[in-house]
Amino acid sequence: MRKIVECVPNFSVGRDPDTIDAIAGAIKGVDGCRLLDVDPGYSTNRTVYTFVGDPESVIEGALAGARVARKMIDMRGHKGEHPRFGAMDVCPFIPVVGVTMDECVEISRRFAQKAADELAVPFYLYEQAAPAVYRCKLSDIRQGEYEGLAGKLEDPRWKPDFGPDTFVPEWGATATGARMFLIAYNVNLLATSNQAHRIALNLRETGRGEGSPGKLQNVQGMGWFVDEYDMAQVTVNLTDYKITPLHVVYEEVKKEAELLGLPVAGSEIVGLVPLESLLSAADYYIEKEGLFIYRENQKLRLAIERLGLNSIVPFRPEERIIEYITAEKPEEPLASMTTRAFIEEVASRSSAPGGGSVSAVCAAMGVGLGAMVAKLTYGVRKFENVQGHIQKVLPTLDSVTQQLIAMIDADTSAFNEFMDGLRMPQNTKEERRLRKEKMQNGLKTAIDVPLTTMRLGDLAWGPFEVIARYGNPASRSDTQVGAASLKSGIWGAYQNVLINMVDIEDGEYRQKTLEEAEKINQRAADKCDKVLSLLENRG
């Protein structure tokens, strides 16, 4: 599995396009780094950069940006709404794919060491990388901001983790470390900065201090006025969006604003956001408003509209959701072919694609027909009395169809793994052992893939019975063909399980797998008969 780390350095510059562009160019120029977002703020005089890469690349990308900041940013004249104490104010590393938090801690330490040595500036470690509890929170490290840093550096308790312990006026200091995904989120208010800050104090976890906590856990916040928007904002950092989600913050701000007679004018996300956080918001509004929405893109549209994320600039999911940006296009050469090209490829003088891929196609098309009939029933006025039944099965039919499409190429890939083992050398005892091990693993993969096709197809029989009972009667033949195709797809996948099982030497695996496959295959035959019978009885 590839390793992806996210890095979100915040630089104390938001009003100088040349410096902003120079930092962006330096990061983009590092091989292995992909710059995802540059978000400058004039009032905050701060720019948030978001980029991803493998562990080595993100270190070099962060270092490249820091080099430019060292040359082009001078903190002695810096002013802005956002708390800050350094030219590169903060530089967190976040695990995204195939990377642990411990690895990100090590990445932050290596970056801090390299940057401090090269640039001769102080670095503090925070969050998961912090060496002591009292300097774990960024707010504690940055307390007093740039103006109080010279005095802070004289305190032995605040000696930097890397770099000089003397004040570097043009730079200040930098905090770097490892943390979970943080969402920077602003709710817009037609209000004053004092009113916005009053709401923030009521909501943020620390509240007003002195034993007076706020309503929301894992929320840092304050209020300010943004001149370029001509609006105030409750600006928050969600340090754990699973504990306090986006929609909870938004709804709580609305409640507080209503008490003060203030209008809320949408919200904005600064930088990137995890897909789960927006889907969670969508699920909240779906339940609250009694809606039926199951497709991911429609859920996102709902969340964007309800949270008012288009209020300042258009929110484009493909540019702002971390999973969408970092996703690699699936390798599906067979599933991406035209129908003619796929059939001709099957008919060619080659053993792959073969029966396994064709079985996946049959199952996918069968379930797809079931989804089609459900969609031709849902929302039609004369079928209003069965809408509840259709709503329960439509998401499953749609989802299983998509999952079965992926199995078309998975089957061919599994066969290729076995063939790679077959081609391995067998001149020595060790080579023969490795070859046998590779081939046995390849056979298990070649079994697990069609077995997965069977399992997925098996999920559709319950929904098919519902479609047979309540589906649009004008699509009766489509339901019949769908059920028969699904049965054929499962039967074909079963035959692939059997033929690849012949040379399996693991007796326990063999028995367990065959028992499961036989049950699914028999159930397919029984369920298909039942679906066809239901259709016949409807007349």
As a whole number of angstroms, the distance between CA 367 and CA 402 comes to: 9
Write down the residue that tokens 């129908």 correspond to.
339
As a whole number of angstroms, the distance between CA 163 and CA 123 comes to: 6
Catalytic hit among 39, 89, 398, 411 = 411
Catalytic hit among 82, 197, 247, 389 = 82
3-class secondary-structure state, position 24: helix
User: Within 10 A of 52 (CB to CB), how many other CB atoms are there?
Assistant: 24
Q: Is 526 a catalytic residue?
A: no
SS (HEC) of 470-496 = HCCHHHHHHHHHHHHHHHHHHHHHHHH
β-pair partners for 37: 50
Q: Is 82 a catalytic residue?
A: yes
Quote the radius of gyration of the chain (alpha carbons, Å): 29
Determine contact, residues 177/62, Cβ cutoff 8 Å: no
Beta-strand runs (E) in 42-87: 46-53
Give me the phi and psi of 354, to 5 degrees please.
-135, -145
C-alpha neighbours within 13 Å on the C-beta side of residue 315: 24
As a whole number of angstroms, the distance between CA 479 and CA 370 comes to: 6
As given in the structure block, the two tokens for residue 398 are 């749609």
- Strands across the sheet with 183-189, in order? 219-226, 231-238, 183-189, 264-270
Q: Among all residues, which ones are annotated catalytic?
A: 82, 411
